[in-house]
Structure formats: C-alpha cells, structure tokens
Structure 1
Amino acid sequence: MAASTNSALSTDQLPVVVIGAGPIGLAAAAHLVERGIEPLVLETGPAAGSAVREWSHVRLFSTWGEVVDPAAEKLLAPTGWVRPDASAYPTGGDWAERYLQPLADTLGDKVRYGATVTGVARSGRDRIVDTGRDGQPYTVHVRFTDGAEQRLTARAVIDASGTWSTPSPVGANGLPALGEKTAAEHISYRVPDLNDPSVRARYAGRRTAVVGSGASAFTALALLADLAGEEEGTHAVWILRRGISASTYGGGEADELPARGALGLRAKAAVEAGHASAATGFRTQAVERADDRLVLVAEDGRRLDPVDEVIVLTGFRPDLSFLSEVRLGLDERLQAPTALAPLIDPNVHSCGTVYPHGVRELSHPDQGVYLVGMKSYGRAPTFLAMTGFEQVRSIAASIAGDQEAAERVELTLPETGVCGGAGLFDEPENAEQSGGGCCAPAPTTLQIGIGAPATASGGC
C-alpha cells in the first residue's frame, strides 16, 4: 500500500485521525462530522468496539440513555436507528452490536479495520526538533493485518485507544513478577465468563488465586464462590497487598455506589463461607512452578500453597509507546494529562465527582494531539462514558475553531445516581432501584457489572 502524503493539501484540509473505533472514538468521529471535519478512524480489530466485544458478558452500570452520544444519535437517526430503552442496562455485547457497529457502518469508509497505529509524530520532526514544529501536520504510521504499511497525514490526532490491551502485572512494583511471563498459560488478566464452558472448566474444582482489591476482584471472588457451591474442590485465594480493614469490602449498604457495596458484601460472604481465603499484606515478587501448579512468592519471602490458576486484576495502564515522538504533558503518577490528573485522582474522586472537562484539560505541549476516553485517565480507574462524550465534543469544537463552544461545559451530571448500577443480580427490581451509572469494561480498572444471572459487579 502506497504512503499517503497529502502534500498538496493545507493542514485544515487534512483529516483528523481517530485511534480506536470504540465508544469514545466513534463519538469523536460523529462530532467531527457534525462540524464538517473529515475523520479517519483506525481500529486495530476486525469490527467496531473490538475491545468491548471481549467483555460482551459484562453488564454496564450505565443505562442506554447514558452510553449513546448525542451527536452519534443524530448521525444514526436518518438510517432508522432507534435507541434502545433509555432506562435499560446493556451488556458489552449489546453495546457493540446495537450501537457501536451501526454507528461505524453509518460512518462507512471513514472507519478502517485491521489498522494498528505504530507511531505518531510531527511531519519531518522528531520530538527533539523545535524549528517549524508547530506548523507541521501529524504523520501517523499504520500497519495493516496483511502486513502492509501506510503513512497518513493528519491535521490532528485523537487517541481513543483505551487501556484494555495493557493490564497491570501481578508484580507488586508494577513490573512483571519473576516467572510471570513463563507461566502465562495459567494466568488471566480478565474477569472470567463462567457461562463459557471452556472457561468454567478452567476453574471448576480447582484452586485459583485472585490478585486485586477492586470491584473486578470482588466480581471474580463472587463468581468463584458461586462455582464452589456447584463444583466440589473449587476454592479462591484472595491476594491483597494491604491488610483487611473496615474499608476493604467497600462501603457495604452505605456505599455511594450501591451495586459496588453489594458486590463487596458478596466478596465478604465468600470469605466468611470458606469459599475464599485471604492472604493479606502479600506483595508478589515471583511466580514459581510446582509441577503443573504455581506458587506465589512475596517480597518478604512468604510462599503460598500451590494454585492451579491465577487471575490478576490489578488495574490497567495506557500504552504510550507509539506516541514517543510527540510532546505530551503527563502527570508523573497517573500518566494522565497534567491538568486533568488532579480532577481524577482516585484518592479523592470517584466517577461521579469528576468535573466535566474538555480541550483545556486535555491539551498537550504539541497542540492538536489528544488522549481521550479511558486513555486520558491514565492509571486512574473510574471513567464515565458521558464524560468521554463531553471530552470529544469540546475537542471537535476546538479543532473547528469554535473556542467558545470548546470551553463551554455542556454536560450536567445528576447529583445522585450517576454512579449507580444494574444491581447485584440481573433482575428488574434491582435495576429499577439504581439510578444510572458509569460505563466500563470489567477489563480495565473500570468497575463493572457481570451479566450472568447470579452476579454483577459495581461502579464506574
């Protein structure tokens, strides 16, 4: 495939490249189209929402009314598309099939699949060069599934690639533990879908370590506890880097996220019923082989009894490798844009307390490159879809030169209910009791809901 230089075009005539055909990337494209700007969406997977499809069994703690972008809905309307019941809670599979794919189909050839972005830079300038930098468009290096490569020229780049592809390791220092990579066939970084017979067989009647202390870990514990009630010999070992305190299981009935609180109580019940045991203050340093089983070794030398499988749910992080030649301003802790980081610090904020924000907080030293959606949150865990839609609305306005609209806040979050959920069980009465919510794939640090009849997990 020939390189695309677009040398005859002025910067304003070039397309805006959007990385990722997920919920926020496609919303960005819809807002750009609404502004008369040509988007080009590059999706590494074979379909819209490829990452979302990998957690299709997860039920969001957000209603349909909160996970459909307004500009996208306007774009879809002439096709006859009708938004599902605004008060219902979709699964990841529902979201992908009933909204994301129709939206991508409407955008047509503005979306390219099997296209992996391998690099972004100022045209003719690496990150060192100052001279003439600001006047240069962006060059985006793309590799396609057939091995072909292309160089695209863009007026701006919106990176909505998320964090799904980069789960954090089991190693307590943020690096893979010794032996973690060689034991990969027995380690998962996702909440298991126990409705899948092959996945169920992997954990049934076996001893599984669950590493993590958030809602995803609670979910895995609850699922394995249910499995233990059906399959003799099933047991979970819960690995916590800290001790167990009053806050370990969340706020229970007083939790600001009711579904998260209920899920914490499920995890607590799993421990108290003997379906799970806890290893506290355990900071994993190594994963050792013991015949066909694994032994986790802590930094202090403690060794756990052998386990058959390990589920690592310690969070996710952004892949910044292909952005190495652009100048980003990132917080040293969260790896989020510097101005955004204080607004999303998980030590202070949950998804419902993050102030709506836009281009001002998402700008970098290299103007015209933006991280949006979950990617913009770096390592912070709780992201709200509506917040992402507001991000890309503001950025599209700024690219179009409408700074007044770009700096205007058009999202008003409700005072209550925004971090609610579909409830602990997938039942109508529980869904009716909660009010709205956060969207998130279980896979990322985002807190999620499992669509299985017997369990769901909480939050943003």
Structure 2
Amino acid sequence: MTQSIPRQCHTPVKGSAERRGGPVVVIGAGPYGLSVAAHLRAAGVKVLVFGEVMGSWRHAMATGMFLKSTPAATDLSAPAAGGRLADFRHERGEPELTELTPIPCEVFVAYGMWFTDRFVGEVTARHVTSVDRAPGGFTVRLEDEDPVAASAVVVATGLRPMAHIPQHLLRLAPAGPGPDTVLSHTSHHTDLSRYAGQRVAVVGGGQSALESAALLHEAGAHPHVLVRSRTVRWGATPAPHRPLIERLARPASPLGTGWALAGLCHAPQALSRLPAPARLLVHHRALGPSGGWWLRARVEGVVPLHTDRHITQAHLADDQAHLRLTGKGGGRFRFTADHVLAATGYRIDIGALPFLPPPLREAIARVPGSHAPHLTGAFESTVPGLYFTGSLAAPMFGPMLRFVAGTAFAARRITRHLQRHAPGR
C-alpha cells in the first residue's frame, strides 16, 4: 500500500557535508520512476520517490483505452525475479496475457501499484515545486512540506507537461484548452462520454487519435478523424509461432519486427554515440503514427477518416470550431465541429517542466536541434547529479525509451552510476 513518507523520514536541508549523505530523489512514480527506485533501493541507495503512483496512466488516459504494447514489452524493471506482468497476473489467479490479448490500461495501473508494494515501498504523493542546486547536491521543494536535501535527482515525470497542440488550433481556446472548452488535448481526458451527441473533430493519425475516435463513437458522439498523411497505418496482427525463416528475416523486438527495430532495442547505448542529427532522425522517424492491429475493426468503416487533410485556419464562432483545410490536389475544405480533440502528441522540452527554475534549466545542455537534455551513458545531464529518463531520454537513446520496454536499460545504468557516485547509502 503506497502512502506519504512520514515527515521525519525526510532529510532536512543542512550543510554540504550532511547533504552529500542525503537520499536520491526520484521525481515521478510512473513506470520509469518506479523501476529506477526499485533498483536503487535494492542496491542499498537511499531514495525518496515523489509523485502519484501511475498518475498519468490514471488521469491522462480515457476510460476504456488499451496499451499498444504487447505483454512481453510491458514489464516494469524489477531488481529480482517475480516482478513481471505475468507474475502479477499469476498471483491474482488470472490467466497470462498473450500477444493476441490487448492490455487494458486499468490492468497496467493495477500492475504498477502491485509492483510498487513489492519492490519500491513508500511513495510520497506530493508535487515537487522546485529543484535548486545547493552545495553538495540539491534542495527539492514540495508543495506543502519542508524542503528535502538530495544528493542527486532523477527526473522521471513522463510527457504530460509537454502535451502539444498546434498553434493555429489554440485560437479556439483563448483562455487555454481543456475539456470544458471547444478545444482539448487527449491527455486532458479520462472520460470521453461527455461528448455524446456532439460532432467532434479528432486531429491526428496515431494510436491516440484512432482509439479516442473509437471511444467517442461507442459513447454516442460523432467523431471525424482529420489525418495529415495520405493513409492511416495499422499494426500487423502478431503471429506468435512464426516459421524460423521469418524470425531470422524479421526478428522480434519490443518495438515490433525487423532488424532495424531489433537493433535499436538491443543497443540503445550505441545510438547515443551517433551525431545529434542522426539520433534525432531516428527519434522522429523510427516509429511513425499508426493504430494497433486490434483497434482496426472498431474504426475502419465505422468512423469517418479524412486523410490528406491539413488544417490551415481555425476560429471560434457561435460556440463551434470552424476549420479550414487543404487536401488532395490543393482542394479546400471547411469543417465545423462542436469540439476539437487534439491527438497531436507531445514535444520533448525540459523548459516545460515547471519545477526546474531558469538558472538550473539554463545549465542543462540540450541535444543540438532539440529541447531535450544531453545525457551521458548513465543518463546524467551536464548538471552533475541531475538525471533524466523515460521519453526525455529518447532523443539520446532512441525510441525504446518512449515505451515501458526501456525501463530495464535506464534503471540499471542509473543505479550503477549512483552506486559509485551517491555517498548517501
């Protein structure tokens, strides 16, 4: 059972000698934060975890959503045997999930909470308001508690603060987008049934857009998906027992089949040694937008899909969104909707992390051509003792870090480094 760590367990802010013996603070209690914390605690490193366990999965996913990943690519990284999704299911007397069994988000959330109880221990459900450098480490300030002295900080907050909505759509919500305005982002929702009976423009062509459209339709709304590309891509149905020749030609990996994806998963550290332009090219193009194979029957032929549609203008009139679009052959189109749902993804930008004050942000070197932090092979930034993991590290180590499958690589590397460099043990 997770609960706040008692106040007396926090390391109060003292001088540099005491601070160097302080704990490692992990900010974020999703798959990456939990995995890093589990490995650190098993290694004997003092660690405090701040955040709501599986918070983004509980509050930024609409009810009824499934994971796109297969069960084999959905295990959090435990420091010992017995921490897989299959172990969780077995302990509860439930059948093991297979490649042909899409995983409901609520099952993954329950797994994450079980993992926390078994391998992490207590998590403080408090928001970190700022991280400041101090002699011998950092001062971590919380929303309603005394500041904490930390020898090192691991940022594992996920992408929610970096939700991206194209600038021309923001004119639809002058006071800011949200569920109660004409414009929202998919990360704003846990329940899409509020739009029953409404005409909804879903902007995007990836999993988030397509699954949101299916849920909207099934809740009685009238979604239309506006896709920039000329086609909608779908994942292939898994074949659990492929012939040997197929497995050699297109080996399996947590990201899919093929030698390129297998290489990215097998040696993410090699990608970090490439020039920044090459890394960013891989980051942006390795896995384009697509829908899960199991979702296709709920969308194709059921929900209108408007491909090759580019929104050029958007304005608000009579409480509706009026969109102007261009399309095939330079054609011009108009579309009116009661609500616009932006399934337009996230932009990695450490400037969007509210707890990093300007002096600290400015000291963090970026990957050239991006707003992502430049990291060492141990996930440490150019500010000694400050680490970033999860999607924030994907521009350095490749697309595997955008998925749960990257937790083992990150947790082991960060833990090995902190075992040597964090005296707070």
Bin of the TM-score, shorter chain as denominator length: 0.5 to 0.7
Percent same amino acid among aligned pairs? Answer: 24
Q: Is 2:108 the partner of 1:91?
A: no
Q: Is 2:102 the partner of 1:102?
A: no
Contact (CA 8 Å) 2:172, 2:321: kept in 1 or not?
no
- CA shift digits 1:209-232 (9 cap, x unpaired): 0111222222233444556xxx5x
Give 3-state SS (helix, strand or coil) of 1:111's partner.
coil
Give 3-state SS (helix, strand or coil) of 1:158's partner.
strand
Distance (Å, rounded) in 2 between the aligned partners of 1:6 and 1:294: 55
Q: Could you say which residue in structure 1 is the equivalent of 2:225?
A: 238
Contact (CA 8 Å) 1:178, 1:286: kept in 2 or not?
yes
Q: Is 2:276 the partner of 1:269?
A: no
Cα deviation for residue 332 of structure 1 reads: 4.6
Distance (Å, rounded) in 2 between the aligned partners of 1:308 and 1:325: 43
Q: What is the correspondence of 1:183-202 to structure 2 with a 5 Å cutoff?
A: 184=178, 185=180, 186-190=182-186, 199-202=192-195
Cα deviation for residue 57 of structure 1 reads: 3.1
Q: Is 2:134 the partner of 1:123?
A: yes
Distance (Å, rounded) in 1 between the aligned partners of 2:70 and 2:200: 33
Question: 2:29 corresponds to which letter in structure 1?
Answer: A
Q: Could you say which residue in structure 2 is the equivalent of 1:216?
A: 208
Distance (Å, rounded) in 2 between the aligned partners of 1:298 and 1:322: 38
Contact (CA 8 Å) 1:249, 1:265: kept in 2 or not?
no
1:253–1:117 distance in 2 versus 1, CA, 3 Å:
closer
What value does the CA root-mean-square deviation take over the aligned residues?
4.1
Pick aligned residue for 1:61 from 68, 84, 95: 68
Q: After TM superposition, which residue ranges in structure 1, 4 or more long, deviate above 6 angstroms? A: 378-382
Q: Could you say which residue in structure 2 is the equivalent of 1:443?
A: none
Q: Could you say which residue in structure 1 is the equivalent of 2:306?
A: 278
Q: Is 2:370 the partner of 1:360?
A: no
Give 3-state SS (helix, strand or coil) of 2:165's partner.
coil
Gapped runs of 5+ residues in structure 2?
A: 1-6, 239-249, 251-255, 258-289
Q: What is the correspondence of 1:282-321 to structure 2 with a 5 Å cutoff?
A: 282-289=310-317, 291-297=318-324, 304-318=334-348, 319-321=352-354
Q: TM-score, normalised by structure 2?
A: 0.67
1:11–1:64 distance in 2 versus 1, CA, 3 Å:
farther
Cα deviation for residue 402 of structure 1 reads: 8.6
Q: TM-score, normalised by structure 1?
A: 0.62
Q: What is the correspondence of 1:18-417 to structure 2 with a 5 Å cutoff?
A: 18-43=26-51, 45=52, 48-54=53-59, 55=61, 57-71=64-78, 74=81, 87-88=97-98, 90-97=103-110, 99-106=111-118, 110-113=122-125, 115-123=126-134, 136-143=136-143, 148-171=144-167, 176-177=170-171, 179=173, 181=175, 184=178, 185=180, 186-190=182-186, 199-203=192-196, 205-224=197-216, 235-240=222-227, 242=228, 244=230, 248-250=231-233, 260=291, 262=293, 269-270=300-301, 275-276=303-304, 278=306, 280-289=308-317, 291-297=318-324, 304-318=334-348, 319-323=352-356, 324-326=358-360, 327-338=363-374, 360=377, 362-377=379-394, 383-401=402-420
Contact (CA 8 Å) 1:212, 1:239: kept in 2 or not?
yes
- CA shift digits 1:262-296 (9 cap, x unpaired): 468558833xx6x425274423543313x232223
Count residues with an aligned counterpart. Answer: 343
Using the TM superposition, name which of 104-113 and 1-10 deviates more.
Answer: 1-10
Give 3-state SS (helix, strand or coil) of 1:218's partner.
helix
Distance (Å, rounded) in 2 between the aligned partners of 1:235 and 1:22: 33
Question: 1:161 corresponds to which letter in structure 2?
Answer: T
1:141–1:119 distance in 2 versus 1, CA, 3 Å:
same
Cα deviation for residue 59 of structure 1 reads: 2.2
Question: 2:141 corresponds to which letter in structure 1?
Answer: H
- CA shift digits 1:158-178 (9 cap, x unpaired): 111101243111435xx8345
Contact (CA 8 Å) 2:378, 2:417: kept in 1 or not?
no
Contact (CA 8 Å) 1:373, 1:388: kept in 2 or not?
yes
Distance (Å, rounded) in 2 between the aligned partners of 1:268 and 1:369: 43
Contact (CA 8 Å) 1:16, 1:154: kept in 2 or not?
yes
Cα deviation for residue 91 of structure 1 reads: 2.3
